[in-house]
Chain A
Amino acid sequence: NAGVTQTPKFQVLKTGQSMTLQCAQDMNHEYMSWYRQDPGMGLRLIHYSVGAGITDQGEVPNGYNVSRSTTEDFPLRLLSAAPSQTSVYFCASSPGGTLTWNTEAFFGQGTRLTVV
């Protein structure tokens, strides 16, 4: 049982390049989310999904796209990388549903992205 798997762990991009951060979970969770973590800013929600085929914007969605074609996968696409997108990116999944622990998040190990 791998939990939440993110790839790659490290990435360096040039300004203007595009790339996709991969996220997969094997816990059959309904909810998946992408966060970025910057010093002094905490975890900020980029995009989230409450089920296959359903996505929505979080707090800082500009410059990022997501899709959720399966329950397991939730890739994050950077359309045209900018230095301001240098950050550590975390994918998380939560069980969903109506139980009290439905939002408890399981995080991947993160992707450290540098845009030069």
Chain B
Amino acid sequence: TQLLEQSPQFLSIQEGENLTVYCNSSSVFSSLQWYRQEPGEGPVLLVTVVTGGEVKKLKRLTFQFGDARKDSSLHITAAQPGDTGLYLCAGAGGSNYKLTFGKGTLLTVNP
């Protein structure tokens, strides 16, 4: 069974601060996805990383896939209240089309 551990589970910061969320596994994934979920809504895909060592940027969000494709990080620069939400990582493994989700990081950015 593939498991994804996310940390921290909860994060409360002030507007303007930087933060990093981690997603770790002992398994290798063919790709890793990050989602954001707002209250009362379904998760929405932010990015997919595929290649070991890959870095993708989405405005103030930077996503990195580990060289061994077992871990990933999400870094937010100068967080804003609009970044508040549940961030989920999900791994896809090889020919296994099922996604494995981490338990999520609940981020609160206070004005």
Chain A residues packing against B (C-beta within 8 Å): 4, 31, 33, 35, 40-45, 48, 50, 58, 90, 92, 94, 96, 100-110
B45 touches A42 (CB 8 A): no
Q: List 7 A-B contacts (CB under 8 A).
A: A33-B98, A43-B88, A94-B97, A105-B90, A107-B43, A109-B40, A110-B42
B97 touches A50 (CB 8 A): yes
CB closest residue in chain B, given A31: B97
| A42-B88, A43-B101, A94-B97 known; A103 vs B31 contact (CB < 8 Å) | yes
Shortest distance in angstroms between A94's beta carbon and chain B's nearest beta carbon? 7
Helix, strand, loop or mixed for chain B's interface? strand
A103 touches B99 (CB 8 A): yes
Shortest distance in angstroms between B44's beta carbon and chain A's nearest beta carbon? 7
CB closest residue in chain B, given A41: B103
Partner of B48, one of A33, A44, A100: A100
Partner of A58, one of B31, B98, B102: B98
